[in-house]
A = this chain, B = another copy of it.
């Protein structure tokens, strides 16, 4: 059938388009790393907590429920990925969100929850 030939051409063109528009490997790795950071429920909870504003580790631990060491390890991951930043205030260290894009992505995912598709 002619249809099959046309489809084959169409799909071949799509492959070309895909290859042309495809970010390079480094860029894809960067995107993946960003998503990976958000993929862990424990980190997601921390970011949802920080959405309300700057908090110290103790308060974060309280808000997400869990153990201080685990929270500290996850905060390190978030900081290494420049998703949060921190500053010292006396004995405490205050963390806050440093990446607006990431919070947008979380918002999109959150909206997606109450969705009927």
Contacts and interface: CB of A to CB of B under 8 A. Distances in A.
A103 to B, nearest CB: 10
A35 B32 contact: no
Given A18-B52, A52-B21, A63-B18, A108 B112 contact: no
> Interface centre among A31, A39, A53, A112, by most B CB within 10 Å?
A31
A37 to B, nearest CB: 8
Given A22-B45, A22-B63, A55-B14, A108 B113 contact: no
A27 B110 CA distance: 8
A50 B14 CA distance: 9
3 closest A-B pairs by CB: A36-B39, A35-B39, A18-B49
